[in-house]
């Protein structure tokens, strides 16, 4: 049996059904509410440069004292970039959201800040307890992202402001 026939099928989301009719409204969130929402989910996407081009990776995360903590491994491109940088770190963007695929309602948060490899043994041990790797690979490193700019939007069917 070939490798192609041994692979498991890839799950593809079918959102071919149209979103409910009606206007959508975009409400800007303040930084505190945006970080609260980001902390309510565990999966996001980190954006950094690799070979002078933007690179995006899905990762899981935790909030720790206002910082975003992710796990990584020795050979990862982000680990290499964060390791070589001087203070304050390497510039990254981090995005997380919860948007319903059928209604297109929910929220999205983008954090821009500085990522640094965690080198302090006690902090690294702490980070390892906060974030459990979701891929079957050794994730012995951690990166802290210190938010510098936090933006968020609430996508709603009405004009009311508030949290999702």
DSSP string, 90-120: EEEEEEEEEE-TTT--EEEEEEEEEEEE---
Alpha-carbon gap, residue 109 to 38, rounded angstroms: 7
Q: Residue 43 in contact with residue 98, Cβ under 8 Å?
A: no
| Count of other CB atoms within 10 angstroms of residue 23 | 8
Low-confidence ranges of the chain (pLDDT < 50): 1-5, 161-164
pLDDT of the residue at 12 = 59
In tens, the pLDDT along 24-45 reads: 899 999 999 999 999 999 999 9
Q: Which has the closest alpha carbon to 97: 141, 155, 52?
A: 155
| Structural domains of the chain, ranges and CATH numbers in brackets | 32-156 (2.30.110.10)
pTM for the whole structure: 0.80
């Amino acid at each position: 049996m070939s490798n192609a026939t041994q692979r498991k099928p890839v799950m593809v989301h079918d959102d071919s059904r149209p979103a409910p009719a009606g206007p959508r409204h975009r409400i800007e969130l303040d930084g505190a509410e945006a970080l609260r929402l980001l902390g309510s989910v565990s999966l996001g996407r980190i954006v950094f440069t690799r070979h002078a081009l933007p690179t995006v990776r899905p990762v899981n995360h935790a909030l720790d004292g206002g910082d975003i903590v992710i796990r990584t491994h020795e050979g990862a491109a982000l680990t290499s970039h964060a390791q070589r940088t001087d203070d304050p770190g390497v510039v990254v963007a981090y995005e997380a959201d919860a948007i319903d695929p059928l209604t297109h309602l929910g929220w999205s948060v983008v954090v821009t800040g500085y990522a640094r490899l965690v080198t302090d043994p006690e902090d690294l041990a702490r980070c390892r307890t906060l974030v459990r790797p979701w891929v079957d690979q050794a994730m012995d490193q951690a990166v802290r992202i210190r938010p510098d700019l936090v933006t968020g939007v609430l996508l709603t069917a009405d004009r009311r402001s508030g949290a999702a």
